[in-house]
Amino acid sequence: MIKIEAAAWRVMVDHARATYPNECCGAMLGTAQGDSKTVVAAVPLENAFHGEQGARYELRQEDLLWSDAEARRKGMDLLGIFHSHPDCDAYFSKTDLENSCPWYSFVVISVKQGRFDHANSFLPDPDQTHAVNEELSYEVSEVIHG
């Protein structure tokens, strides 16, 4: 399961809302014990997809490299990636699956009409053919959805 602390969750949702109607993306840093992950910090990253970003995102590898280094500097781990789905549900699309990596959790945030709607987390397989749902919990503060 993956648990996201309030400060990190706020950063993720704020980033998803700020980039609406485009997709956002970013990295999740924290600690892991076995399959139990706790996200302590979220790092908003630039959507590097060349083209219409309302339905696509792409992470720069250099940004991931930097995120991993940042996690190490803070004594944390790079646990996963988040991105948003503007005006549709938080499913793991075929495009998401075919461009995923099995090493990380993938949190998808649904933003509808510019407001947070719901979120899910997924764990893709190494062959990029299947992803399972990962139990997701997040701490919400009042200011997030205002």
Partner 1 sequence: MAKVLIPTPLRQYADKKDSVELQGTTVGEVLTALTSQYGDLRKQLYNDEGKLRSFVNVYLNDEDIRYLNKDRTPVQDSDTLSIVPSIAGGRYAR
Smallest distance, partner 1 to C-beta of residue 18, A:
17
Q: Does 14 bind partner 1 (CB under 8 A)?
A: no
Binding window for partner 1 (CB under 8 A); candidates: 1-9, 10-18, 76-84, 138-146: 76-84
Helix, strand, or coil here: 106? strand
User: Quick check: 135 and 119 in contact, CB under 8 A?
Assistant: no
Out of 10, 15, 17, 85, name the contact with partner 1 by CB under 8 A: 85
Verify binding: residue 144, partner 1, rule CB under 8 A.
no
Contacting residue, 20, 83, 107, 120, with partner 1 by CB under 8 A? 83
Q: Which is nearer to partner 1, 114 or 143 (CB)?
A: 114
Residues 120 and 20: their CA atoms lie apart, in Å, by 18
Q: For residues 9 and 64, what is the distance between their CA atoms, to the nearest angstrom?
A: 19
